[in-house]
Amino acid sequence: MPESPKSAKRPLRSLITGGAGFVGSHLCERLIAEGHEVICIDNLLTGRRENISQLIDHPRFVFIEHDVTRPIDVPQLRSRTDGRLNPGNHLDYVLHLASPASPKDYARHPIHTLKVGGLGTYHALGVAKAYQSAFLIASTSEVYGDPEINPQNEGYWGHVNPIGPRSCYDEAKRFAEAITMAYHRQHGVRVRIARIFNTYGERMRLDDGRVLPNFIPQALEGRPLTVYGDGRQTRSCCYVSDLVDGLYRLLVSNETGPINLGNPEEVTILELARKVIEQTGSSSTIVFEPLPVDDPMQRRPDITKAQTLLGWTPKVALTEGLAKAVSYFKDKLHETGASRPVAAH
């Protein structure tokens, strides 16, 4: 088993790409709480400095603005820590979370999304190989495409349109999994593959474009909630604290994966819109727009492997998570005072 912070002779050190993003920033906090030294890399394309502002002055945390589509200079990382991390030659974990993650973002940055999944994963794996670190790749339920089975288990190979408008993200993540396993087989890199399903919570951007950052501000401002298609497509929404717990459990395990991480509480988009209206006490109506190309009709994880191998099960029910998310978005709207356009789920 990998060393735990309590048993290690020296603090564990982790490098996390995309660490200023929505999920990445929460994972940075978890790593710090577990006693790790953390080197956070982000190019701030979709991540934000404010997500990690509470960590910037922590003696075991360093932020480096860098685009992982360019090589990661490990000696330079050691020399740019200002002495706070007692720079040395060890790196226990590399966590690769860098990537645009919402349809709005990867539609705007399709080539960069492909480069992050390809070159970014290659560069991060190179660091893990050089340091003999364990490597965690944040993959996605999008590798299943518009699935033909429900729920989706890790043995399902997916139903993806390789040239569709979503392919820049879907295929980037499928390639990322492939090169990760190639490094595992050829170079013996210890890898962990997490397939992340829909996640929500604090630090999502108001203009994120995914379903809940669309619905909740619309409801809070009394605007119509935009549902694409007839709303019968389903999603399974996992609160961010549950996801981070699953990622950390996978990281410190000896499981290669892939392992699904998500909440199997499935709900239709139309039901979700109604729940948001109820949770916010809004008078908003619901309007329907055409369904985007290749928008998946079903999303529900089979989490048997996560339960059996990691002892992980989501704890935050949708009603509880929505209450927290509504409070967060209410505060963000108060800060900005501006309305945002909607985007695809």
* Residue 241 backbone dihedrals phi, psi, to 5 degrees: -65, -35
Q: Which two tokens stand for residue 86?
A: 């007692």
165: left (phi over 0), alpha (psi -120 to 50) or beta: alpha
Q: Which two tokens stand for residue 323?
A: 């209450």
Distances 225 to 107, 218, 268 between C-alpha atoms, Å = 22, 6, 14
β-sheet bridge partners, residue 289: 228
Residues 310, 250: contact at Cβ < 8 Å?
yes
Catalytic residue among 93, 106, 169, 200: 169
Give catalytic status of residue 248 as yes or no: no
Non-local (6+) Cβ contacts of 96 within 8 A are 17, 18, 68, 120, 121, 124, 125, 135, 136, 137, 138, 176
Active site residues: 169
